[in-house]
Amino acid sequence: MDKEAQKRLAGRKALEYVEDGTVVGVGTGSTVAHFIDALATIKHRIEGAVSSSERSTALLKEHGIPVFDLNSTGGLPLYVDGADECDPWNRLIKGGGAALTREKILAAASSKFVCLIDPAKQVDLLGAFPLPIEVIPMARSYVARQIVKLGGQPVWRDGVTTDNGNWILDVHNLRLSDPVRAEADYGRIVGVVCVGLFAARPADVVIVGDQIRANR
């Protein structure tokens, strides 16, 4: 089965976690776009969504799903998002779509984080996918030098500005044997807004195609 079909299946499968009358946290990306399509089929059963990006907000609104501000909803029961890499402990690299900061806020504010991936994103060790780090624009060069001191190879994602008005550095050729520590180490650099490692707060459930993956 091709990748797109796997993503579509995962998007549909995630509906099993949506409870009636709730506000659903919605991530960003091509996999989540399938989830939004699926969510639209049960939109009369939910109150609405909180979105992690302008892109997902536009899709939700196209489907007539009300979009709320997180400040007005409080904690969410469910957050559904994709990922760029997922290790056996449900720790993730995210931010390929540059929406990592709002995604991490929604994951933190939600009781359950359901992550949707296609099989190619399952890895034993995180880091082959370049790790996205959102930075304050004036700190780009300073942060890049600090990342080099930590052993990383940062590359500026030139031409990309996040929904928060910031820039992205992608850190190449990492082998993240301790992603919780790496998340903390990179996150401590002054000027870093968010590290695209979701290790301290991993996904609770990972859906690969139409299969719910067993937790380690």
Minimal distance, residue 30 CB to ligand 5RP, in Å:
3
Q: Would you tell me which residues interact with ligand 5RP (CB under 6 A)?
A: 27-31, 81-84, 94-100, 103
Which CB atom, from 31 or from 146, has the smaller least distance to ligand 5RP? 31
DSSP 159-215: T---TTS-EEEEEES--BSSHHHHHHHHHTSTTEEEESEE-SS--SEEEETTEEPPP
Minimal distance, residue 121 CB to ligand 5RP, in Å:
7
Which CB atom, from 65 or from 80, has the smaller least distance to ligand 5RP? 80
Minimal distance, residue 156 CB to ligand 5RP, in Å:
17
Q: 35 and 56 in contact (C-beta within 8 Å)?
A: no
Could you identify the residue written with the tokens 């960003």?
Answer: 28
Which CB atom, from 148 or from 160, has the smaller least distance to ligand 5RP? 160
Active-site residue list:
103
One-letter identity of residue 100:
L
DSSP 83-151: -SEE-TTS-EE--TTS-HHHHHHHHHTEEEEEEEE-GGGB-SSBTSS-EEEEE-GGGHHHHHHHHHHTT
Which CB atom, from 63 or from 142, has the smaller least distance to ligand 5RP? 63
